[in-house]
Amino acid sequence: MASYVRESLLDGEKILYEGAVSLWAILPKLLAGLLLLPLFGYGLVLWMSASVYYSSTELCVTNRRVVARLGLVRRRTVEFHIAKVESVRIEQGLWGRLFNFGTITVTGASEAGEAVKGIENPVAFRRALLQVQEIVLRRSGAAVAPARARLEELPLPPGPPLQKDPAPKRPPAPPQPPVRQVERVQQALGRAEDESWLEEAPARRRPAAFSPAAAAPRRGPEPGEWD
């Protein structure tokens, strides 16, 4: 499988994931072809079309591109740069959910995607594509696309090792005043409170000094004092 993709690989490019057509996807056509084989060869046409689709369909993820090839006589190829992929859509019917296959459509930034039907394990293909895309975008310094699984599950493309983002630094704590300065401020505040209490307290009258002369009773005039 993937003979076309292997022949078109660029220098330094390698295949990281290959999507295969599931036999369960073409089984209905194969059975219908066998049942209708005696009917004017119509069954043979169905059987041959299913076999050709199974053998000629390729869908691969490399460390640079997403490549899809469909058809044998009339060949169609679709290629997207891995950093230009915008979405990977999966469609599964009841038969596909039971036997784990579906239709995959990869769309680019400015190009419509090509639907590739009957791909086995489509969720694994999408996960692999997103993982490779995240690695490539990190190496190029662009915005990282969302990925759903750990990057270590796939082999890394050639290049320098990834560097983890440094942890954010905490802001420095404000400087603390010296102990002596704190004590001086507290003493100054205490003196200010004492002075304000003295100013607000009502004035008290000081008692007069004791005098024996003032305390003695007054005598009346002596006889003959006013003569």
Report the DSSP beta bridge partners of residue 69.
Answer: 58, 77
Question: What token pair was written down for 90?
Answer: 């999966």
At residue 24, the pLDDT reads: 94
Q: Which amino acid type is present at position 208?
A: A
- Is the overall model pTM greater than 0.85, yes or no? no
Instruction: Report the pLDDT value the prediction gives residue 114, as an integer from 0 to 100.
Output: 83
| The pLDDT of residue 3 | 72
What's the half-sphere exposure (Cβ side, CA atoms, 13 Å) at 148? Answer: 9
Domain 15-148 fold: PH-domain like (2.30.29)
Residue 225 has what pLDDT?
47
Looking at the DSSP bridge assignments, the partners of residue 90 are 104
pLDDT tens for the chain, residues 1 to 227: 447 888 888 888 999 999 999 999 999 988 888 888 777 677 888 888 899 999 899 999 999 999 999 888 788 888 889 988 988 999 999 999 999 999 999 988 777 778 899 999 999 999 999 999 999 888 876 554 444 444 444 455 555 555 555 666 777 766 655 556 656 656 766 665 555 544 544 544 445 544 555 545 555 555 554 44
The pLDDT assigned to 42 comes to 79
Helix (H) or strand (E) holding 130: helix 122-140
CA 25/CA 18 separation, integer angstroms: 17
The domain locations on the chain are 15-148
